[in-house]
């Protein structure tokens, strides 16, 4: 399942010998052995090596919960040339992710219980946990609410129209009110389409210099503000995706002081790059919302540190080469990010900005699970093994050979990263990267 990754079915007992265990939920760090039996943790402690039990020397590696990504695009159904649930699962394993939530902008749109069922049934045979997000409106048209109740009963974990923001405030209010019945979040891509206009990148000095139409910060922040106020009015759960501007951070911070049902995510690429990185018209950095200036980048870093932004999500968005190898104005928006995620955010947040590794791991494990209501107490005897092992000290250069996605649209190629995933354990499989 990929040149650079081996996937084995776990059979019988396996001892993970002497890793440094970081339990982000309980904020504990300790050195110990972990024994698995098929797909369950059966012992944590000093375990005597037995010649009859397979043992992996994990000295020098960190063991923690498998990562959880609330925002991926696996393009299934309809665009299997870009990604499938199966190829997306390989990408996730390579990045240390054992659980992901898939966005509904597929062909057809995931806006019925039948299509929710399709995703769940296809995912059963795959080595990671995949949770479908249903569309807020029928066909993502932004006007008529979808069958949210039936989709929830079928297994939808949230609702979003993803890259098509809900422009109509009344529709957004009704979606929030309706979602309260199910206790799941509404996720709205926050952009005012009129203010965004034909903007191709962040509006500022760099866009002027490059001669590209700009997308102003206010196109996002004004929509974030509207959605926050509607969430407060309705008492519903709102999750703000891929926050990119300092003003959005300010609005979220202020709302969190009075209303607790608001959460937010940031992507690795908005933390790692600034609009200066677009000076050579790299279409892999054409994303929505756009890569902003360094002032916004630093505001996002501060927001992770102070808890205004809860979690990191990749917004993994595969595209074929012909969709990206064109002029900047014609190129599709989006980049892949699962395989590079940990190395990118560890470099920026821990190495460069002094965030504690424990706090970083919380943004990748516990916090996203809590937002979706998933079990977040996983370093425990009796639990199904959702684990990742990584070398926290390894410095490496990301290359195309590290990509297991069907698509290759990554701006992280040739970038120096810090912290390397070595093993991912999920659903009774061991992936060695």
CATH number at residue 182: 3.20.20.140
Which residues have CB under 8 Å from 364's CB, separation 6+?
67, 68, 96, 311, 312, 341, 342, 345
pLDDT of residue 156: 98
Q: 55 and 18 share a domain? A: yes
Question: pLDDT tens digits for 233-268?
Answer: 999 999 999 999 999 999 999 999 999 999 999 999
Identify whether 202 is part of a domain: yes
Q: Does residue 361 contact residue 65 with C-beta atoms inside 8 Å?
A: yes
pTM: 0.97
Q: 22 and 71 share a domain? A: no
Q: How far apart (Å, rounded) are the C-alpha atoms in residues 374 and 134?
A: 17
Q: Would you write out the chain's pLDDT as a tens digit for each of its 433 residues? A: 345 899 999 999 999 999 999 999 999 999 999 999 999 999 999 999 899 999 999 999 999 999 999 999 999 999 999 999 999 999 999 999 999 999 999 999 999 999 999 999 999 999 999 999 999 999 999 999 999 999 999 999 999 999 999 999 999 999 999 999 999 999 999 999 999 999 999 999 999 999 999 999 999 999 999 999 999 999 999 999 999 999 999 999 999 999 999 999 999 999 999 999 999 999 999 999 999 999 999 999 999 999 999 999 999 999 999 999 999 999 999 999 999 999 999 999 999 999 999 999 999 999 999 999 999 999 999 999 999 999 999 999 999 999 999 999 999 999 999 999 999 999 999 999 9
Q: 256 and 402 share a domain? A: no
Q: Does residue 127 contact residue 97 with C-beta atoms inside 8 Å?
A: no
Q: 25 and 114 share a domain? A: no
- Using DSSP, state whether 54 is helix, strand or coil: strand
Identify whether 320 is part of a domain: yes
What domain range is 15 assigned to? 6-63+381-432
Instruction: Pick the last residue of a domain from 336, 352, 372.
Output: 372
Q: 139 and 43 share a domain? A: no
Q: How far apart (Å, rounded) are the C-alpha atoms in residues 263 and 340?
A: 24
Q: Which residues does residue 125 pair with via DSSP β-bridges, in sequence order?
A: none
Both structure tokens of 282: 């790299």
Q: How far is CA 25 from the centre of its chain?
A: 19
Instruction: Pick the last residue of a domain from 372, 402, 417.
Output: 372
The torsion angles phi and psi of 200, rounded to 5 degrees, stand at -105, -20
Preceding omega of 80 cis (within 30 degrees of 0) = no
Q: 145 and 292 share a domain? A: yes
Q: 126 and 11 share a domain? A: no
- Using DSSP, state whether 145 is helix, strand or coil: strand
Instruction: Pick the last residue of a domain from 372, 403, 423.
Output: 372
Identify whether 184 is part of a domain: yes
User: What is the Cβ-side half-sphere exposure of residue 192, based on CA atoms within 13 angstroms?
Assistant: 16
Identify whether 232 is part of a domain: yes
Q: How far apart are the first and last CA of the chain?
A: 11
Q: 337 and 393 share a domain? A: no
Question: Among the options 315, 329, 359, 391, which is catalytic?
Answer: 315
Q: 253 and 193 share a domain? A: yes
Identify whether 327 is part of a domain: yes
Q: Does residue 296 contact residue 217 with C-beta atoms inside 8 Å?
A: yes
What CATH number is associated with residue 24?
Answer: 2.30.40.10
Query: Is position 247 annotated as part of the catalytic site?
Result: no
Q: How far is CA 273 from the centre of its chain?
A: 17
Identify whether 1 is part of a domain: no
Number of domains in the chain: 2
pLDDT of residue 3: 52
Q: Say which DSSP state 130 is in.
A: E
H-only helix segments in 193-245: 193-196, 205-210, 217-234
């Amino acid at each position: 399942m990929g040149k650079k990754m081996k996937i084995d079915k776990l059979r019988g007992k396996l001892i993970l010998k002497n890793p440094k265990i970081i339990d982000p939920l309980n904020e504990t760090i300790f050195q110990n052995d972990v024994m698995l039996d098929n797909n369950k943790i059966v012992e944590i402690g000093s375990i005597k090596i037995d010649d009859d039990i397979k043992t992996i020397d994990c000295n020098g590696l960190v063991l923690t919960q498998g990562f959880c990504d609330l925002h991926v695009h696996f393009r299934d159904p309809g665009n299997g040339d870009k990604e499938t649930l199966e190829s997306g699962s390989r990408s996730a394993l390579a990045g240390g992710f054992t659980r992901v939530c898939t966005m509904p902008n597929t062909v057809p749109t995931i806006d019925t219980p039948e299509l929710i069922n399709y995703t769940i049934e296809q995912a059963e045979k795959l080595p990671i946990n995949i949770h479908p997000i249903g569309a807020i409106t029928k066909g993502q048209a932004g006007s008529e609410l979808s069958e949210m109740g039936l989709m929830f009963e079928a297994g939808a974990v949230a609702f979003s129209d993803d890259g098509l923001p809900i422009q109509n405030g009344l529709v957004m209010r009704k979606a929030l009110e309706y979602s309260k019945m199910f206790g799941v979040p509404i996720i709205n891509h926050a952009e005012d389409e009129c203010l965004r206009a034909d903007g191709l990148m962040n509006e500022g000095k760099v866009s002027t210099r490059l001669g590209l139409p700009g997308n102003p910060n206010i196109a996002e922040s004004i929509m974030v503000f509207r959605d926050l106020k509607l969430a407060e009015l309705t008492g519903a759960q709102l999750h703000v995706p891929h926050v990119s501007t300092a003003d959005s951070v300010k609005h979220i911070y202020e709302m969190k002081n009075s209303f607790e049902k608001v959460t937010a995510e940031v992507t690795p690429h908005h933390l790692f790059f600034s609009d200066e990185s677009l000076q050579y018209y790299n279409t892999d950095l054409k994303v929505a919302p756009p890569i902003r200036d360094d002032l916004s980048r630093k505001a996002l870093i501060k927001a992770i540190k102070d808890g205004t932004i809860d979690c990191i999500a990749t917004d993994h968005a595969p595209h074929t080469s012909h969709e990206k190898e064109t002029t900047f104005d014609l190129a599709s928006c989006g980049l892949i990010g699962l395989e590079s995620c940990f190395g990118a955010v560890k470099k920026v947040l821990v190495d460069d900005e002094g965030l504690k590794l424990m706090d970083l791991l919380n943004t990748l494990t516990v916090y996203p699970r809590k937002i979706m209501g998933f079990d977040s107490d996983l370093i425990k005897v009796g639990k199904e093994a959702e684990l990742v092992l990584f070398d926290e000290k390894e410095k490496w250069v990301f290359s195309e050979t590290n990509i297991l996605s069907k698509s290759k649209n990554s701006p992280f190629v040739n970038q120096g990263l810090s912290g390397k995933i070595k093993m991912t354990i999920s659903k009774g499989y061991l992936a060695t990267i």
